């Protein structure tokens, strides 16, 4: 299965940010992004496997039924170059 996606997004109304993975739930990355936008989230970063380093967030097991929340914190994501941190969870974009 090669449809492992990671998105960092921010709630427009509630003031929190999260990192979410999808491993089998969506066939295309744009479907995952569109779903979150439709739900009212602002997209911060969008990545497919091979385009990001897992950092201290290990790869999830395949799950075709769920979106997996990997980190969540009040406020905005901390972006330092290609390093994205939410709470105490970090990954690297390429």
Distances (CA, A) of 86 to 16, 18, 61, 76: 9, 7, 21, 8
From first to last of its 94 residues, what are the pLDDT tens digits of the chain?
579 999 999 998 889 999 999 999 999 999 999 999 999 999 999 999 999 999 999 999 999 999 999 999 999 999 999 999 999 999 999 8
**SS3 category, 60:** coil
Tell me, what's the pLDDT at 13? 86
Tell me, what's the pLDDT at 37? 97
∠ CA 70-26-50 to the nearest 5 degrees? 65
Tell me, what's the pLDDT at 12? 83
**Phi and psi torsions of 29, nearest 5°:** -60, -40
């Amino acid at each position: 299965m090669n449809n492992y996606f990671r998105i960092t997004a921010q709630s427009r109304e509630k003031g929190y940010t999260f990192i979410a993975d999808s491993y089998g739930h969506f066939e295309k990355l744009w479907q995952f992004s569109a779903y979150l936008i439709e739900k009212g989230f602002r997209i911060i970063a969008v990545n497919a496997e091979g385009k990001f380093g897992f950092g201290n967030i290990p790869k999830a097991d395949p799950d075709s039924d769920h979106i997996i929340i990997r980190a969540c914190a009040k406020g905005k994501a901390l972006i330092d170059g290609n390093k994205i941190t939410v709470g105490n969870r970090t990954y690297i974009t390429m």
